[in-house]
Amino acid sequence: MSMGNNLHNSIKKALENYEAPLKDAQWTRLEKELAAKPKKWKFLPYLYSAILIVAVVIGVLLFKYNFNKKTLSINNSSEALEKNYKFEKEQNKQSNVIIKQQFEENQNLSKTLKNSEILKKKQIKLTNNLKPEISETENNNSLSEIKKDAETTSINKTDKSSDTTSYTYSNKNNKGENNINVTDSIDNSIVEIENSSDVTNEDSTYKNKPIKDIAKAKHKYVFSLSTGYSNMKVHFSAIDDLSKVHKDTRKIFEQSNKNTQTLFINFGFDCNVFKGFNIGLNTGFQYLHISQPVNIKYKMIEIPFYDINRNIIGYIPKDSASAEVLSTNSNNKISYLKIPLRFNYTIPLNLRNEMLITAGTNISTIISAKGNVISVNEGLVKPLSKQMYGKLNFGFLCGAQYCRNIKNRWWMGIENQWQINPSTYTNGVEKVKNRMSGYNINLILKYKL
C-alpha cells in the first residue's frame, strides 16, 4: 500500500511543473472556447410577443362588444319581422283554401240544379212518346221517381272524374215492363281559381325576405384536419459542462442537423368556452416527421487528455494518416407526437368568412428515432435512439387562420403556424441544448357542430 502511495506521489511531483507546448493556433482556439459564453434562450422576445397578442385580442374583444351592442336591436327587429311575415303568409294560405272550398261547393250545387232541369225536360219529351195506355197517374208517379233519383244521384255522386252520368227509370203497365234509360253527358271541367289581388298581393313590407344569417349560429365544437408545407430547423443553444466534452462536439451536432425535411399533419378539436366573446380552446394531435440526411467523415487528429476530474486540459495532435476515422452516411428520421393547448379568438368577417388568432403551448415527445450519430467524445458511431432526447418537452406556438364556409357545416381555409420547442440532446457525456423552430403553411378543413 505504501509503495503505491509513493509511486503516486513521485508521479505527481514529476508532473507538477510540467508544461506541454502548444501551437499558436491551438492557444487561439482554446482562448475562444474559454471566452465564449453559452448562449441562453432569450425569453424576453417571446414575452413581448405574448403581450402584443394579448393586447390585440383585448382590443378586438372591445370592438366586437360594441359592434354586437349596436347590432342587437337590428337583429331583434329582423327576427320579429320574419316571424310576422311567416304568420301573415300562413293566414293567407288558410284563407285561400277556405275560398276555394266554398267556390267548389257552389259549383257542385249549380251543376246539380242544372242536371235536374235537364232531366225534367227530357222526361216530359219521353213521356209524350210513350204508348197511350200509360195513364196520367202512372206518368206523374214516374216523373216524381225520376226527379228523386236524379237529385239523389247528383248529390251523393262520388266519382268526380267521370265524364258521363246515367239515369234509369222503369214504367209498368198492364201489358208488361218498359225500361227506359236516359243518358246525359256532362262535361266536368276543372275550374281554376285565380287569386284575387286582395288575397295574394303582399304588403311591400314583406316583399324582401330576411336573409338567414349563417354565421349567426354558435357552434360549440369544431373538428379540423390540416396539412401542408412545413419548414422546421434545429438550432444550437449551449453545451452543459463544456470543459468535459470535445471542442468539435458543436460542429458534429450542427452537421448532423442540417438540411432537414419535415412533414406536418394536425388533427384538431375546438371547444367554444366563452360564447359571448368568441374565445375557444384548441387541442388535438400533431404529427411531425423530420428527415435529416447525414454524411459525415471525421478524423480524430486531436486527442484530448483529462485531469483527475475528467476535465479536458489539452489536446495531443495526431498524424492525419494514422488518425482514426469516424464516418456515417445515413438518413436520420425522427417522429414527434405533439399535443397543443392553445386559446383561439374568432373574428367573423361576414356571413361566410372568418379569421382566427391562436396562441398557447404544446407538449411534445419522440415516438421513433432511426439513424446513426457520431460520438466524438467516445470515439465511435452509435445508433440514434429516442432515449437521447427528453421524454416530454414544452414549447410555444401561435398563428392565424382564415376560413370560408363551403357547404352547410363544412369550412375550408388556410392557416399559418409558428412554433418553437427547446430540448436537450444527450449523447454520452455531451448534453447539447437546442431548439427546434419554424413555421407551417397548411390547408385546413373544418366541420362545425
Banded model confidence at residue 45, pLDDT cuts 50, 70, 90: low
pLDDT at 145: 57
Highest mean pLDDT among 37-41, 82-86, 194-198, 367-371: 367-371
Q: Output the CATH code of domain 219-448.
A: 2.40.160.20
Which residues lie across from 410 on neighbouring strands?
A: 407, 447
**In the predicted structure, residue 65 carries a pLDDT above the cut 80:** no
pLDDT at 111: 78
pLDDT at 158: 40
What value does the mean pLDDT of the chain take? Answer: 75
Q: Which residues of 301-332 are buried (b: 16+ CB within 10 A; e: fewer)?
A: bbebeeeeeeebeebeeeeeeeeeebebebeb
Q: Which residues, including other chains, have CB under 8 Å from residue 93's CB and lie 6 or more apart?
A: none
Sign of CA dihedral 297, 299, 304, 310: positive
pLDDT at 50: 72
Closest CA to 382 of 336, 425, 428, 424: 428
pLDDT at 6: 66
Mean pLDDT of 8-34: 67
pLDDT in tens, 229-274: 999 999 999 998 888 899 999 999 999 998 899 999 999 999 988 7
Rounded Cα gap, residues 118 and 130, in angstroms: 19
pLDDT at 341: 93
pLDDT in tens, 336-354: 999 999 999 999 999 899 9
pLDDT in tens, 195-212: 433 433 434 433 444 444
Banded model confidence at residue 44, pLDDT cuts 50, 70, 90: low
Query: Residue 446: which H helix or E strand, with range?
Result: strand 430-448
Sign of CA dihedral 368, 385, 296, 259: positive
Banded model confidence at residue 37, pLDDT cuts 50, 70, 90: low
Banded model confidence at residue 46, pLDDT cuts 50, 70, 90: low
Q: Half-sphere exposure (CA, 13 Å, Cβ side) for 24?
A: 0
Q: What is the pTM of this model?
A: 0.55
Q: Which residues, including other chains, have CB under 8 Å from residue 248's CB and lie 6 or more apart?
A: 298, 302, 376
For 279, the 3-state DSSP assignment is strand
> How many C-beta neighbours within 10 Å does residue 343 have?
17
Domain ranges of the chain: 78-206, 219-448
**In the predicted structure, residue 67 carries a pLDDT above the cut 70:** no
pLDDT at 57: 74
Rounded Cα gap, residues 391 and 386, in angstroms: 8
Mean pLDDT of 437-447: 95
Mean pLDDT of 2-23: 63
pLDDT in tens, 122-160: 777 777 665 454 445 555 555 555 555 545 544 444 444
The three grid cell numbers given for residue 76, joined into one nine-digit string: 331583434
Rounded Cα gap, residues 199 and 91, in angstroms: 10
Residue 407 or residue 206, greater confidence: 407
Banded model confidence at residue 357, pLDDT cuts 50, 70, 90: very high
For 45, the 3-state DSSP assignment is helix
Helices 44-128 + 136-155 axis angle, to 10: 170
Rounded Cα gap, residues 91 and 206, in angstroms: 14
Rounded Cα gap, residues 264 and 232, in angstroms: 10
